[in-house]
Amino acid sequence: MGASADQIDRQIRETRERMDENLGVLEARAASNAVRYARIVAIVVGAAAAGGAAFLLYRRFRSRPALKDRLREMPPQAIRELGSRLKNARRSMPSVTLTLNDDGHTEPGALESIVRKLAPALIGTAATAVIERTTGRRASDDLDERDTSQVAPAFD
């Protein structure tokens, strides 16, 4: 008639065990392949980063002749043409009009009011620094060199 229930159960168990072993082998292969591909990707990314860094360093440090050397090597006719091309390029550039606070009725913004208050102090400080730098003297030196004989004595 047919196989007994015990025999069918035994065959099912054997089949499951074989399938479990096959799945284990496949999982191990997949894991080892994943590690292998991860290494390959890491190597490629590292090589690309090293190549990019090398390219940037090459561009940064390659010796390019100075502008005056390049102009010195150019023939005079090319320099004349360069000048005319620059004039034409300047003429073809669009003009730009910048308008700030077009209507005088608006209140200045926070940044503008801060700049309006700080600008005179900053300009004065910068001008003093430039004057001191160009003359080689400090403003405090001027106070020390004044004639103090004309000054009224202090009251005790």
The CB density around residue 132, as the number of other CB atoms within 10 Å, is 14
Q: What is the pLDDT of residues 41-87, one digit of tens each?
A: 999 999 999 999 999 888 888 877 787 888 788 888 887 888 788 88
pLDDT for residue 97? 74
pLDDT for residue 40? 92
pTM over 0.75: no
Contacts of 108 by beta carbon, 8 Å cutoff, 6+ apart: 101, 116
Q: Where are the alpha helices (DSSP H) in the chain?
A: 5-61, 67-73, 76-92, 110-135, 139-145
The larger pLDDT score, comparing residue 18 to residue 94, is at 18
The larger pLDDT score, comparing residue 31 to residue 55, is at 55
What's phi and psi for 34, nearest 5 deg? -65, -40
Is 137 within 8 Å of 144 (Cβ atoms)?
A: no
Centroid of chain to Cα 119: 29
The rounded mean pLDDT for the chain is 79
Label residue 145 by pLDDT band (50, 70, 90): low
Percent of the chain with pLDDT over 70: 79
Q: What is the pLDDT of residues 109-130, one digit of tens each?
A: 788 888 888 888 889 888 888 8
Percent of the chain with pLDDT over 90: 13
pLDDT for residue 62? 80
What angle (nearest 5°) sits at the alpha carbon of residue 142, between those of residues 136 and 146?
A: 145
Centroid of chain to Cα 108: 32
